Structure 1
Amino acid sequence: MNPRFFQRVCVVLVLGLGAQSALAEVWPGEQWPSAPAAQTPALKALEDYAFPARDDSTRKGIRTDALLVIHDGQLVYERYAGVTKVNTPHLTWSVSKSILASVLGVAFSEGRFQLTDPAMKFYPPLKSHPDIRIGDLMYWASGLDWQEDYEYAPLNSSVVAMLYTRGRGDMAQFTSEHGTASAPGTAYRYSSGDSNLLSAALKNMVGDKAYPDYPWTALFEPLGIRSAVWETDPTGTFVGSSYAYMTARDLARIGLLMQRGGRWQNRQLLPKAWVDFNLTPFAHHQAKGVNEVPGAQWWLNRLPVGESDVSNRPWPDAPTDAFAALGHWGQALYVIPSAKLVIVRYADDRDGSYSHDQLLQRALAAFAGEGAQ
């Protein structure tokens, strides 16, 4: 065979395979590609769980505002309830923390900080806590004496004071004034204050001029997110712990970014090392039988260190690689890479009856089949 002819055949085959691979991977443009799932008993079971008869005069039971499912890059299911519609930017509550983590991932890719950097390098009021590193804040492991109690224990709650009373004028400053409960990096203590310290540190990482637009220029615009609103405190610092709003369709774009390892189309928007860090369990979280396994501003369906019983995973009926951004009153962005699923749920749950595991079990049956287990 003529060597040049053989070389040309190889080039054609390689280019053809590359084109087929590119065609096989679906990405959203201005709108999501849609392939609605057929109504099946499994889908009905999911709907019956997520959307029971709704009585807005009470605060009891499961109250789903929106449920959206992306499978392999395509919108396969979408339903809204109450006042929430397809174009409604919904309050995400603590899902904001994981959105902030993705914004920080872009800053990390630009070389603006290292995880081992002292946090006071970017937020000087932390000079009284010089040993806290950026990586400690990412794992909610600052060691600050923080009480993450909500409306059920307002007098003891650091987060209620930060968001609504004496800390609301400068949330990061309020957090930095807390005392020490443990050495930084040695103990997990969920803290909206840690997340707001990261948001304040970001301001010095990128500069005062770039900061007000940075979540949009760094993350939202590259992903095609148009609906995002992010409230600030009176100092102009984004309330990274709690106050990001966006539509379900737009939040799903962040889920797809994470499902595909930080890649958006042909651009590695988040470094793979950053995504791996987000999805690595905090090394010192060893409690047995827990219902949460913290990653770096994300939640993981992994076993805690030292645990071997798979039934003690947070969501035992979902695959081990599942992870989520979770927020108060049932807000959730679930990502299951092995099943190629991204699920957004907005809600107004008030009584604790909702189960992440139950919804994920039904969603997997409806959209991924038993093979996803």
Structure 2
Amino acid sequence: MRDRLLRFCLACSIGISAASTFAADTWPGTDWASAPVAATPAIKALEDYAFPPRDDNSRKGIRSDALLVIRDGQIIYEHYAAPTTAQTPHLTWSISKSIMATVLGVAFGEKRFELLDSVAKFYPTMASHADIRFEDLMHWASGLDWQEDYEYAPLNSSVVAMLYTRGHDDMARFTAGHGVFAKPGTVFRYSSGDSNLLAASLKKMVGEQAYGDYPWTALFEPLGIRSAVWERDASGTFVGSSYAYMTARDLARIGLLMQRTGQWQGRQLVPKSWIYFNLTPFAGREIKSAEEIPGGQWWLNKSQDGSRGPWPSAPADTFAALGHWGQALYVIPSAGLVIVRYGDDRDASFAHDRLLQLALAAFPGEARP
């Protein structure tokens, strides 16, 4: 299975392999190296967009808390809006999904599971859905009848019930109790429940005793991440969908790991085959629009047929971890950039493509291979 996956992923690679070897000598130690760029009109335009005056009464408009730009392993730009600082672990919301996917990448490299394994093998509560595989959960394609709406349909929302009401004590069990609307692996339907089933399955993969520390021992500590906080539900399962907290600088370490195809200071921390799987577009149907191009718990800027994705101002190899209210970790291998944006946006004012357009104009660099 692993050899087949690696051959497949190498064949359909979106081009980050060559880029990951360009200017790859600078790594963060306890802190990041810093090489701030001089102020320019383009940077001013970026700041005017990302940090406009706030209206704390209406809570409308773009409300950035942090913007951090890493180029070739060095901080070139950093700006915060109070009370957020460089030392503030910020709620990442659904960026947590991509963080959990990276933790699972370490477990995959340790041969603790295979993508084609039944989820029920590691989470027996899924016995009635034994045909759902890890590959399906990674693509948000479990086929479970899930409703992800938040503010717009709270009475019908599976995710609101899971996080806040009848499902919050045991989120994976709540998800497993849903019915079926499609054959697993055939239809994309974004689901925080799928992500929490992954988090619950990890518990048996690594054992109850190791589980509570595993994200730290497997991923955070090797990367030098010291700020991470991850909430668990009453069953002791990490809320892999939503509740990881991290400083912008620490989240950028995960972005750099992904940009460099799982390598960290000479160590292949996450297998390249796992990274390529994460960054390969889901091949199923009913991907509703160019705003939804899922990979393996990451979001992509190129569809399976090669057409451009939701951020036309950015290179096709751009990918991202995205969260509620404007949280974003963008990785642009061909530009050598990792960008973290934290926010508190309560309306639709913020646009990912506009931020990427302004950031690329503000921080142009030599094109990578």
Q: Is the 8 A contact 1:286 1:307 kept in 2?
A: no
Distance apart, 1:83 and its partner CA? 1.2
Separation in structure 2 between the aligned mates of residue 314 and residue 195 of structure 1, nearest angstrom:
22
Residues 356, 219 of structure 1: alpha-carbon distance in 2 compared, 3 angstrom cutoff: same
Structure 2 CA distance, aligned partners of 1:245 and 1:365? 30
Distance 2:327 2:310 in 1: 16
How far does the alpha carbon of each residue in 1:89-108 deviate from its partner, in whole angstroms, 9 at most, with x for none? 00000000000000000000
Aligned partner letter, 2:167: G
The AA in structure 2 aligned to 1:333 is L
Q: How far apart, in 2, do the equivalents of 1:302 and 1:338 lie?
A: 14
Identity fraction in percent: 72
- The residue that corresponds to 1:279 in the other structure is 279
Read off the aligned partner of 2:328 and give its amino acid letter.
A
1:328 aligns with 2:333: no
* Stretches of structure 2 lacking an aligned partner (at least 5 in a row): 1-20
Q: Which amino acid aligns with 2:165?
A: T
SS of match in other structure, 2:34? coil
Q: Does structure 1 residue 175 correspond to structure 2 residue 175?
A: yes
> What is the CA–CA distance in structure 2 between the aligned matches of 1:24 and 1:334, rounded to whole Å?
18
2:114 matched to 1:114?
A: yes
Larger radius of gyration: 1
Alignment of 1:240-255 (within 5 A): 240-255=240-255
| CA deviation profile, 1:1-59 (whole Å, cap 9, x unmatched) | xxxxxxxxxxxxxxxxxxxx999610000010000011011111111110111122222
Which deviates more, 88-97 or 276-285? 276-285
**What letter corresponds to residue 224 of structure 2 in structure 1?**
G
**TM-superposed deviation, 1:291:** 1.1
The C-alpha deviation readout for 1:66-87, integer Å capped at 9, x for no partner, is 0000000000111110311110
Secondary structure of 1:78 counterpart: strand
Shift of 1:151: 2.0
- Please provide the CA RMSD for this pair: 1.7
Partner of 1:359: 355
Residue in structure 2 matched with residue 17 of structure 1 by the alignment: none
Checking the alignment, whether the CA contact within 8 Å between 2:60 and 2:345 is kept in structure 1 is yes
1:124 counterpart = 2:124: yes
1:61 paired with 2:57, answer no
Give how far 1:285 is off. Answer: 3.9
- What is the match of residue 43 of structure 1? 43
Contact 1:280–1:295 (CA under 8 A) maintained in structure 2:
yes
**Correspondences of 1:284-303 after superposition (within 5 Å):** 284-285=284-285, 287=287, 289-303=289-303
The whole-number CA distance in structure 1 between the counterparts of 2:113 and 2:281 is 21
Q: Judging changes above 3 Å, is the alpha-carbon distance between structure 1 residues 274 and 176 closer, same or farther for their aligned structure 2 residues? A: same
TM-score with structure 2 length normalisation? 0.92
Flag structure 1 segments of 5+ consecutive residues without an equivalent. Answer: 1-20
1:205-244 equivalence runs, <5 A: 205-244=205-244
The CA distance in 1 between the partners of 2:247 and 2:157, in whole Å, is: 29
Counterpart-to-counterpart distance in 2, 1:361 and 1:171: 38
SS at match of 1:210: helix
Q: CA deviation at 1:306?
A: 4.8
- What's the CA shift string for 1:231-258, capped at 9, x where partnerless? 0000110000000001000000000000
Task: Return the structure number with greater relative CO, CA threshold 8 A, min gap 6.
Answer: 2
The question of whether the paired residues in 2 share the 8 Å contact of 1:63 and 1:347 is answered with: yes
Q: In structure 1, how many angstroms separate the alpha carbons of the residues matched to 2:163 and 2:24?
A: 45
State the partner residue of 1:4: none
Q: Is the 8 A contact 2:311 2:352 kept in 1?
A: yes
Contact 2:112–2:206 (Cα < 8 Å) also in 1: yes
2:184 aligned residue: 184
Counterpart-to-counterpart distance in 1, 2:294 and 2:37: 33
Q: In the alignment, what sits opposite 1:134?
A: 134
- 2:312 aligned to 304, 310, 316, which one? 316
Q: For this pair of structures, how many residues does the alignment match?
A: 349
Instruction: Tell whether the 8 Å contact from 1:323 to 1:335 is kept in structure 2 after alignment.
Output: yes
**Offset of residue 370 of structure 1:** 8.6
TM-score scaled to structure 1, two decimals?
A: 0.91
Deviations 1:183-213 (A, max 9, x none): 0001000000000000000000000000000
Q: Which residue of 1 aligns with 2:13?
A: none
CA distance in 2, matches of 1:72, 1:350: 33
Supply the distance in 2 between the matched residues of 1:46 and 1:223 (Cα, whole angstroms).
Answer: 29
- Alpha-carbon separation, structure 2, partners of 1:23 and 1:261: 14
One-letter code aligned to 1:328: H
Residue 77 of structure 2 aligns to a residue whose secondary structure is: strand
